[in-house]
Structure 1
Amino acid sequence: MKAFSAVDVIRAKRDGAALTDEQIRWVVDAYTRGDVAEEQMAALAMAVFLRGMDARETATWTGAMIDSGARLSLRVDRPTVDKHSTGGVGDKITLPLAPLVATCGAAVPQLSGRGLGHTGGTLDKLESIPGWRASLPVDDIARQLTDVGAVVCAATEGLAPADRKLYALRDVTGTVESIPLIASSIMSKKIAEGSAGLVLDVKTGSGAFMKSRADALELARTLVDIGTAHGVATTALLTDMSTPLGAAVGNAIEVAEAVEVLQGGGPADVVELTVALAREMLALAGIAVDPAEVLASGEAYETWCRMIAAQGGDPAAPLPKPAHVAVVEASASGYLSRLDAYAVGVAAWRLGAGRARREDPVQHAAGVRCLAKPGERVSAGQPLLELHTNTPDAVAAAREALAGAVDITTTPPTPGPLILDRVEAP
């Protein structure tokens, strides 16, 4: 590979030039190997943050990060399809979705992550199940896909090491909120998984990473374009994250809610989004099955039990319960017109459900239960939220986070749609 000067690459992007494919491949490879210094990549990341990258640059950058490591080779008899969410509050959709799509006939290799800040992590939620393990060898992943049809586990170390290194750098250099860098980070890992199809749940609203609908739509289009450029059939749904999904926000309580959905019940919004994403995934896999019927039948719950057991978990074991529960009451009578997702997510984090640093532990029993959702009539003094924690001293900080999170009005709010838009390849 031709060598370039890191300073010349930085200057080119600083001055607004489009980087060549050769420059991009060299700088990502050299950074991964340590030949480009951290401060040089930090400068380049800031230049990208300020100047952006076009579709070709972003696709090439993604490819270079994929090529920095290994690709999973998952040889299974079923069509493979995956899903990725950009993160939200109460977003436990992966838990019912993976076994549902597997029950319908696809293979779902869902490599997931951990929570940071106000957004929860799928692995943290599943680790509240006694015995369940997140880390699996590649052979076990392939075997479970063949035997069960779904696996939810941690990404293997060899996938996109350039992304892991760059992500940590962006986190401490103020360059996280760059759509090309966000999109290439997401897609490098997902494409390296080897799935033939990918559905993206791009969230917008107070509890989402992308607060504005325009930014979320731009991210969705960028993600779909990258997937398409790399030969992965990709679609995206733009979904609302101004209100928490479902009633449960945390770890164990989200698992319990997911099980309710798999058994044919659960909150309507969780069911709606699970079915909508399942339809997208099955369409990409070429499977003509109605996931709504399968979900209502409870059959996907049997797949869930086998999926959990295959990773050492006991699906029948009691989930952790909090040592302390506090209540937030309605301040007036009327209609609950707003329940801010971000505030609820921060409250759950402060109660112990999330972490401030990647190495921090989480409390599996901590979280927030929403006892009312926007549109419902409430009375003054009625419990609106339950605060679950093993550390009672955390309740005051959680209450502080929830100050101003609730609006109660005399007239009912006009409900908005959960699914705001859909993006597909041109």
Structure 2
Amino acid sequence: MPLNQQSPIAVAELELDASGTAVGFRPAPGAGKPRPGDVYALVRVDGRPAATVLGRYEDGEDPARVLAALAAQRLLEGGALPTAAERLAAAEAPAPADTAPPRASVIVATRERPDSLARALDSLLAQDHPDHELIVVDNAPRTTATHDLVTRAYGRVRYVREDRPGLAAAHNAGVAAAGGEVLAFTDDDVIADPRWLTALATPFAADPGLGCVTGLILPARLSTPAQILLESHGGFAKGFAPRLYDPARPPADEPLFPFTAGSFGSGANMAFRASALRRAGGFDPATGTGTAARGGDDLYAFVAVLAAGHRLRYTPDALVWHHHRETWQDLENQAYGYGAGLTAYLTATMVRRPALLPALLARLPRGLAHARTMTAERGGGSDGGSHAGGVPGEHGTQHHPWPASLSRLERRGMLYGPVGYLKARLSQGASR
């Protein structure tokens, strides 16, 4: 089906037990009740995110049964559902001792979006983490809307104002105000799963060498062609397999490590050990949305912490639902910003961490080839009405062609990124 004729796709959650039997089906947080038609569902097994499936059910059919059949086959093939022998062994094994998550500070940077911020704060106040604080950083505000919302309706939330524009500057203001051992960051356009913060913070207690943890980001809605196209080409999801990135043991399947920072996670779902992030110098204030660099603040921080010798872990148990931008213009801005943010962060790394320059230059030829591949016009996968090619958010299974116009915008952004970063640094120097 052509993208401009694509009907909205409902977003839901499907709960399975360890045998693959459906025990629950509900709309995703913030999504409307699914209706007959296409449904994109997060599959949980015993409560834990395990996969996503895309299916279709007709009027009179049970969507849980339809999707469970698709999910069971998918999970068995991927090894996410245990065999009968594995279930028996797990039942007989002693339960592991619970690990208490460290004290955490959640930092949300925002600018003039009180409605979406309220939705995010409602989910963050429902977290099951036993010891955490919430900090909202109001970045270069034009009105008092954010201040009024936080101070009048959310007494448990601390309000911080940062007049210097830019996401990285706002994050640094949050870091300065935070008292947690773990600093967790998310955006004002997400809904956090109730276990999000616990899942994001607990790995730090088990691994003293861990400097950063990132988590799973899924779409809250797939209502417009732009949202569906973005998610069909990977979205923000990094899959359902936990992964550890260790600078002492570079991953063999990532020859550009650590400079392919986009594969580690995204700024809407990340946490740092406070001491590691502060020793690394925090976020580069000349990067990020709201600056001439257009992005790259999260990527810079990932590499800075890895360069200091800390490990980075990706865990799909830490889940947030992200409200993707809705219009084609939003998607064009996003494509350009991704390209600009990528090369802006690499420029920031060279400027602020010259010791990494030889490693970066050694990877440059392969990196340029990788960039050409990632920004190429991408075709649509087979879609015979049953979505046999995969699901939105699963990398490499695109259902809709990625237009050449967006590829060109990504590449133009990459050419602009270094200029944007230097402009941002000069602007900040002039301000000081």
- The alignment's TM-score, normalised by the length of structure 1, stands at 0.28
TM-score by length of 2: 0.28
Higher relative contact order (CA 8 A, sep 6+): 1
